[in-house]
């Protein structure tokens, strides 16, 4: 059985935006959010993502969305490298 590697992140994102960007990150939209959990299966590899309830962080008059996200990667040769690739897909530019 393959080892599961866990990455916990606090992300400034809504569930809706997360789902939109996840499709870009994994290259397809063959997944769905069920009770806060998303499973993406690619052959022997499995990515299971658990989303917390949406909340927000207020800084003065600015409200930012906050979602705690757990990424569980199973069957990846280099889970850290795969997580770095996923992180890149979620980056948004500012200016």
Contact 19, 50 (CB under 8 A): no
Q: And the tokens for 49?
A: 């993502």
> How do the domains of the chain map onto residue ranges?
4-79
Beta bridge partners of 4: 74
Q: Which CATH class is domain 4-79?
A: alpha beta
- Report pLDDT for 7: 97
Q: Tens digits of per-residue pLDDT, 4-57?
A: 999 999 999 999 999 989 988 888 888 878 888 999 988 889 999 999 999 999
Q: Please report, for residues 5, 64, 71, 88, 94, the alpha-carbon distance to residue 84 in angstroms, rounded to integers and kept in the order given.
A: 13, 23, 12, 6, 20
Give which of 66, 28, 33, 65 is closest to 49, Cα–Cα: 33
């Amino acid at each position: 059985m393959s080892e599961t590697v866990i990455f916990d992140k606090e992300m400034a994102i809504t569930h809706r935006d997360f789902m939109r960007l996840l499709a870009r990150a994994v290259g397809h939209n063959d997944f769905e959010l069920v009770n806060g959990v998303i499973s993406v299966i690619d052959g022997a590899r499995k990515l299971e993502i658990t989303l917390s309830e949406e909340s927000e962080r207020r800084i003065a008059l600015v409200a930012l969305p906050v979602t705690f996200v757990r990424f569980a990667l199973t069957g990846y040769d280099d889970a850290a490298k795969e997580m770095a690739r996923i992180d890149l897909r979620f980056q948004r530019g500012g200016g």
